[in-house]
Amino acid sequence: MRILHFADLHLGVETYGHLDAATGLNSRFLDFLNTLDRLVDYAVQTHVDLVLFCGDAYKTREPTQTQQREFARRIRCLSESGIPVFLLVGNHDLPNAMGRATSTEIFDTLAVSNVYVSNKPEVSCIPTKSGIIQIATLPWLRRSALLSREDLKSLDLESLKKKLEDILTGIILHHASELDSKLPAILAAHVWVVGSVLGSERSMSLGMEHGLLLGNIANPAFDYIALGHVHKQQVLNTNPPVVYSGSPDRIDFGEEADDKGFFEIEIKNDGIERQTGYSFHKLEGRRFLTIKINIEASDSDPTSTVIGHITGQPVKDSIVRIQISLPEVGSNQINDPVIRNALKEAYYFNIAKESAKEVRLRLGKFTAEELTPLNALKAYLETKKVDPERANVLLEYGEKLINELNSTQDTK
């Protein structure tokens, strides 16, 4: 049995994009669709048994009709090819208010053939051309769905996180007890595993999110544990495999050096025991490229120095940022039009100059140079002791506003 595992698509990311004249759509949206198309083509051409998506189909909780239409077209392609698709609900798929539909619930409502959606912990038996597979799920769960107000009253943050961890661990143990040991089984979870290396979901570094210890999720009752939520692909455990597929496309410069793609799982049964193999398949999405240049005070032609660093770099069709560090008195010696001309083949570029200056202390141990706007917002929310769930929502919207502001400034 062969399964394709991916997650964190985040359709709707438009940072660094521009209006595509042919379609009227944001060019970055088209980037993400092209990457998804390559994934779908691989699944169809190699006749996989199941496509497993582990949450966060869209960037926002309220995707546009166009974003939903384009995602549905790709899911329909898999469905009509006879490939079952299992969609797990992630934190970006949840509405802002209880009682509203999730962004992927429409597939369930319309009873789309070969498409299954899970927005609550459950064990489903999915028929495939190679037999039945059990999918136990742990979608993203709100604290309010796990705890009552009475539970919250007397708990500090650490006690709250421990209680949530115990509840999530209990769900996994319950799932394991329900499995038919004769059938292959996968645990699909959209969750933070403590110790995983983070991608661009930086809010997790604040310790606000509930998470699971690796030992609590690596349950041997499952042949494979498929994870979503962290954008960096990584294997946390090998027996059983505990795997973050990561996001299939780069979202920002925090993911510049990361390989992007999906995992292919193969579960074999030799009549005695089942064996699970897995491999990562790279998808070549839009390249991000940072070029750092240090201009010395003695440099008589800093523009030529900058051009020299750019020459030979793969700037064509890349999202490029040039970071120039130079003496304060030398900032006017840089010929910006010449540098912009050297970057004319880039998909997008930004030139940032940083003049040497005295370091200013801000917020205790942090310096003004070290504290980004998003980190400043995080520190503020921590100081004000904002409810963790509300803080995560505020961080999500704060990051979006910061990205929009940066994008606007970069185009000026």
Q: Give per-residue pLDDT as tens, 25-36.
A: 999 999 999 999
For residue 231, the enclosing domain spans 2-282
Q: Reply yes or no on whether the pLDDT at 329 is more than 90.
A: no
Tell me which of 286 and 366 has the higher pLDDT.
286
Q: Reply yes or no on whether the pLDDT at 229 is more than 70.
A: yes
Q: Is the omega angle on the peptide bond into residue 388 within 30 degrees of 0, that is, cis? A: no
pLDDT at 11: 95
Q: Reply yes or no on whether the pLDDT at 368 is more than 50.
A: no
Q: Give residue-wise pLDDT tens across range 48-58.
A: 999 999 999 99
Side by side, the strands of the sheet bearing 319-326 are: 288-294, 319-326, 348-355
Two tokens at 408?
């606007």
Tell me which of 327 and 14 has the higher pLDDT.
14
Residues 226 and 82 in one domain: yes
Residues 274 and 313 in one domain: no
Tell me which of 316 and 398 has the higher pLDDT.
316
Residues 316 and 377 in one domain: no
pLDDT at 32: 97
Last residue of a domain, one of 282, 302, 317: 282
Q: Give residue-wise pLDDT tens across range 106-157.
A: 887 788 899 999 999 999 999 999 999 999 999 988 766 666 656 666 767 7
Q: How far apart are CA 354 and CA 323, in angstroms?
A: 8
pLDDT at 99: 64
Q: Reply yes or no on whether the pLDDT at 179 is more than 50.
A: yes
Q: Give residue-wise pLDDT tens across range 187-224.
A: 999 999 988 987 655 544 444 567 899 999 999 999 99
Strand, coil or helix: what is 348?
strand
> Which segment of 10-19, 213-222, 370-379 scores lowest on mean pLDDT?
370-379
Q: Reply yes or no on whether the pLDDT at 184 is more than 50.
A: yes
Q: How far apart are CA 157 and CA 151, in angstroms?
A: 12
Which range among 188-202, 281-295, 316-330 has the greatest average pLDDT?
A: 281-295
Q: Amino acid letter at 95?
A: P
pLDDT at 380: 81
pLDDT at 58: 94
Q: Reply yes or no on whether the pLDDT at 348 is more than 90.
A: yes
175-210 per-residue burial string, b: 16 or more CB within 10 A, e: under 16: bbeebeeeebbbbbbbbbbbebeebbbbbbebebbb
Residues 228 and 196 in one domain: yes
The tally of domains found in the chain comes to: 3
pLDDT at 153: 63
Tell me which of 342 and 91 has the higher pLDDT.
342
pLDDT at 397: 82
Q: Reply yes or no on whether the pLDDT at 87 is more than 80.
A: yes
Q: In the structure, what pLDDT confidence band is assigned to residue 396 with cuts at 50, 70 and 90?
A: confident
Residues 319 and 266 in one domain: no
**Cα Rg of the chain, angstroms:** 23
369, 294, 290: which is closest to 325 by C-alpha? Answer: 294
pLDDT at 208: 54
Residues 147 and 277 in one domain: yes
Tell me which of 401 and 314 has the higher pLDDT.
314
Return the C-alpha torsion angle 79, 136, 261, 63, nearest 10. Answer: 70
pLDDT at 388: 76
Phi and psi at residue 368, in whole multiples of 5°? Answer: -60, -30
Q: Reply yes or no on whether the pLDDT at 310 is more than 80.
A: yes
Q: Reply yes or no on whether the pLDDT at 93 is more than 90.
A: no
Residues 122 and 261 in one domain: yes
What's the mean per-residue pLDDT of the chain?
A: 87
In this structure, the strands spanning 224-228 and 185-190 are parallel
241, 232, 167, 248: which is closest to 196 by C-alpha? Answer: 232
Residues 47 and 86 in one domain: yes
CATH of residue 237's domain is 3.60.21.10
Tell me which of 389 and 18 has the higher pLDDT.
18
In the predicted model, what is the mean pLDDT of residues 271-282?
93
pLDDT at 222: 98
Q: How far apart are CA 89 and CA 392, in angstroms?
A: 17
323-342 per-residue burial string, b: 16 or more CB within 10 A, e: under 16: ebebeeebeeebeeeebeeb
Residues 399 and 300 in one domain: no
Q: Reply yes or no on whether the pLDDT at 410 is more than 60.
A: no
Residues 181 and 326 in one domain: no
Residues 275 and 309 in one domain: no
Residues 32 and 154 in one domain: yes
